[in-house]
Amino acid sequence: MRAVTLILIALLLLLQYPLWLGKGSWLKVWDMNRQLEAQQQSNQQNKSRNASMDAEVRDLKQGTAAIEERARSELGMVKRDEIFYQIVVGQPAEVSSADNTANPLSQDTD
């Protein structure tokens, strides 16, 4: 009876091997599903990027407004007879005590 049990266990293990570790095993199916999901996500990102590029190309081909906008923003171009004003926003210069000692007029005399 013990021999029959061992034979049945051995057969069970032989039948389970392809299921878990063989060519079409559950581990490989799980790994392929994971790779498929990653590829689908990458494809979706590429589709959205391609759609935005396609819209930009169509806009550049059809109208001059997009070309003018790019020339103004990226190249700093202005139209003929157009006046360009540039407003520079900055912080006021601070005067340090080292600057005061370097100036001979600001020093006290005895």
Model confidence pLDDT, tens digit, residues 72-110: 888 878 888 888 777 888 877 666 555 555 555 555 554
Predicted local distance difference test score (pLDDT) of residue 107 = 52
In Å, how far are 25, 32, 40 from 29, measured between CA atoms? 6, 5, 16
**What is the arithmetic mean of pLDDT over 58-69?**
81
Query: Taking a C-beta distance cutoff of 8 angstroms, is the pair 50, 57 a contact?
Result: no
Of 8-17, 55-64, 69-78, 101-110, minimum mean pLDDT range: 101-110
The model carries a pTM of 0.45
Predicted local distance difference test score (pLDDT) of residue 40 = 98
Average pLDDT, the chain: 82
Is the Cα torsion angle 90, 95, 98, 100 positive or negative in sign? positive
